[in-house]
Amino acid sequence: MPTVPGWSGRIWARTGCTFNESGTGTCQTGDCGGRLECDGMGATPPASLFEITLGAGDEKDFYDVSIVDGYNLPLIAAPRGVYGGCNATGCVSNINMGCPKELQVVGRDGGEEGGVVACKSACQAFGLDQYCCSKEFANPTTCQPSFYSTIFKRACPRAYSYAFDDGTSTFTCKAYDYTIIFCPNANG
């Protein structure tokens, strides 16, 4: 994915998609309003996300992999920096295999029928302010890692697991491009 200075956005993979000839349909994970081309519309959770804000001129890029909105598949983001020294980030673990039952998204008819195809965030599953980091929990002091976000963090230590997980999950680099790999081999 070549970079364009000043661009900011999210990139994700969709799974279990079916579309008709006019480009309308649905995806089991990462859907964007039933459209083939998302055209700026965000992913319907749960979805593993690559998030980036590209620097302009001599500014550094800020990037991360986020599973705050849940997880659907593993991914790696690897920048190629002007001066080297840029860190890859991602989540290569298959969280779906160890997803707590209350967070599981089970596949519908098709190849994944009956299997776990995604793992919801606690916010999506329960809608509680302490999991969503909203209202009185909308700051880093009151919004702390939950039992569920800790499961995600253990599986993917370099990925965002809750809204204020900045310290171990935000990366910077003066890069000239990024390689995004979906479903990398966890064994190498």
1 belongs to a structural domain? no
Contacts with 93 (C-beta within 8 Å, 6 or more apart), sequence order: 74, 155, 156, 186
149 belongs to a structural domain? yes
Residue-wise pLDDT for 95-147, tens only, equals 999 999 999 999 875 445 579 999 999 999 999 999 999 999 999 999 999 99
188 belongs to a structural domain? no
Contact 37, 62 (CB under 8 A): no
Q: Which domain holds residue 89?
A: 8-182
Q: Between vectors from CA 9 to CA 167 and to CA 74, what angle results, nearest 5°? A: 65
Question: How many domains in the chain?
Answer: 1
Q: What CATH number is given to the structural domain containing 44?
A: 2.60.110.10
Residue-wise pLDDT for 2-47, tens only, equals 667 888 999 999 999 999 999 899 999 999 999 999 888 899 999 9
